[in-house]
Amino acid sequence: MALQLGDIVPDFEAATTQGTINFHDWIGEGWAILFSHPKDFTPVCTTELGEVARLRGDFATRNTKVIGLSVDSVDNHVEWEKDIAETQGQVVNFPMIGDPDATIANLFGMIHPNASTTATVRSVFVIDHQRRLRLTLTYPASTGRNFKEILRVLDSLQLTDKYMVSTPVNWKDGDDVVISPALTDEEATAKFPKGYAKLKPYLRVTPQPNK
């Protein structure tokens, strides 16, 4: 069965461009993002890895590590990193997993046979500090991902874990949020001292509580 939200993600040991890791140990006390790309030395993947490297500091401020994977060898990754640095103006500063036998790709369901029987699709797995899967995204090989959107979702996940709120459509960090319907009006008043607008009994909007 495919991984589902809330599942503990599989653990594995793998060679990476920054040494051998045990995945659960590597995650440590924070969050992690595992993302796959179809193949080394391909155009869209080259732009994506340059962007992830550029945003690594933004992920780090959210206590989140990033790690890439494709069904190519670590040696291939190392050679490809030279091209990424040259064309994207950014050194790859995070580990990339070599998975030439597709063991990890199959563990996480990254190979979709109707798209390709050998290449991994553009999958994203957001994993929390308890090793639980919190988000999955899957893009076709022809479409590059928007990693700033992934940062936005990460902000939402971490915010809504801490407060009894949800984030509405097109929300971004700093915008108003929606109070959980599980709270009574009295509880909401006590919990959100900045106040809230009651648009409907089930739709109460309040300033982001940690801002």
Q: What is the DSSP string of 98-144?
A: E-TT-HHHHHTT---TTT-SSSPPEEEEEE-TTSBEEEEEEE-TTS-
**Catalytic annotation, pick one of 9, 27, 45, 97:** 45
Query: 55 and 145 in contact (C-beta within 8 Å)?
Result: no
Which residue, among 121, 122, 53, has the nearest Cα to 84 in the 3D structure?
53
Query: Token pair of 137, please?
Result: 């995204």
Report the distance separating Cα 6 and Cα 114, nearest Å.
Answer: 26
**Reduced to 3 states, what is the DSSP secondary structure of residue 89?**
coil
Report the distance separating Cα 32 and Cα 188, nearest Å.
Answer: 32
For residue 188, count other CB atoms closer than 10 A to its CB. 20
45 is catalytic: yes
Residue carrying structure tokens 């984030």: 167
**Reduced to 3 states, what is the DSSP secondary structure of residue 34?**
strand
Which residue, among 69, 82, 61, has the nearest Cα to 155 in the 3D structure?
61
Q: Residue 196: how many CA atoms within 13 Å on its side-chain side?
A: 28
- The residues assigned a catalytic role are 45
